[in-house]
Amino acid sequence: MDNKKFSFDDVFSLKKKSFPKNEYRSYENQKKLLSNKYYKIIPYFGNKNELLAFAAVWEFVFFKFVEHIAVSEKYRGMGIGSKIMRDITEKSNSDIILEIEPPVDEVSVRRLKFYEKLGFKFNDYPYLQPPLNKNDKPIPLKILSYPQTIGEEKFRKIQKIIYQNVYEKIKF
């Protein structure tokens, strides 16, 4: 991980290039998160202080929630995403949770295999990502956990914390 200061605008630009609009907040709402005690952006820089990638992580008491991980298009396929996830998993002494699209097509199946290769486990519970922007609809997703699967009771606790802290405070 790199402790250099990052430009929020660079992170947001990479986020816009890496995710569909309904999977990230507006510029203003995203920037407000920087003052949230649970939210952290972990930047990864190249040799010329160029932002190669970042992870956006929520650090709660008994788990971490990886909301976004993005690698600049010209550096994809070079192992940077794997390095980021290994950094997060190796430095964590709690469960790590992330959301993915249900594995129904080539891209989503490949994404699931990427995370499974890193030790993440698929949890087949119904889960909806609440809307992040006005006029968006909830998105059906699946939860992955590291280092093991989670039981339904623990899943419900994690879901409640994510909904209350990550999604329910969104103002349109």
Whole-number Å distance between alpha carbons of 70 and 15: 7
Domain count of the fold of the chain: 1
Please write the tens of the pLDDT for every residue from 12-39.
999 999 999 999 999 999 999 999 999 9
Q: Is residue 172 part of a domain?
A: no
Does the residue 2 lie in any domain? no
Has residue 4 got a pLDDT over 70? no
Q: Is residue 3 part of a domain?
A: no
d(CA 69, CA 53): 7
Residue 171 has pLDDT above 70, yes or no: no
Domain that holds residue 34: 8-167
Asked, for residue 1, whether it belongs to a domain, the answer is: no
* Percent of the chain residues topping a pLDDT of 90: 89
**Could you read off the pLDDT of 92-105 as tens digits, one per residue?**
999 999 999 999 99
Q: Say if 158 falls within a structural domain.
A: yes
For residue 49, what are the contacts with CB-CB under 8 A and spacing of at least 6? 4
On whether residue 54 sits in a domain, the answer given is: yes
How many angstroms separate the CA atoms of 102 and 127, rounded? 10
pLDDT digits (tens, 9 = 90+) for 125-146: 999 999 998 889 999 999 999 9
Quick: pLDDT tens for 69-91.
999 999 999 999 999 999 999 99
**Residue for token pair 């699209």:** 101
pLDDT band at 1, cuts 50/70/90? very low
Measured in degrees and rounded to the nearest 5, phi and psi for residue 10 equal -65, -45
Kindly report the CATH number assigned to the domain that includes residue 86.
3.40.630.30
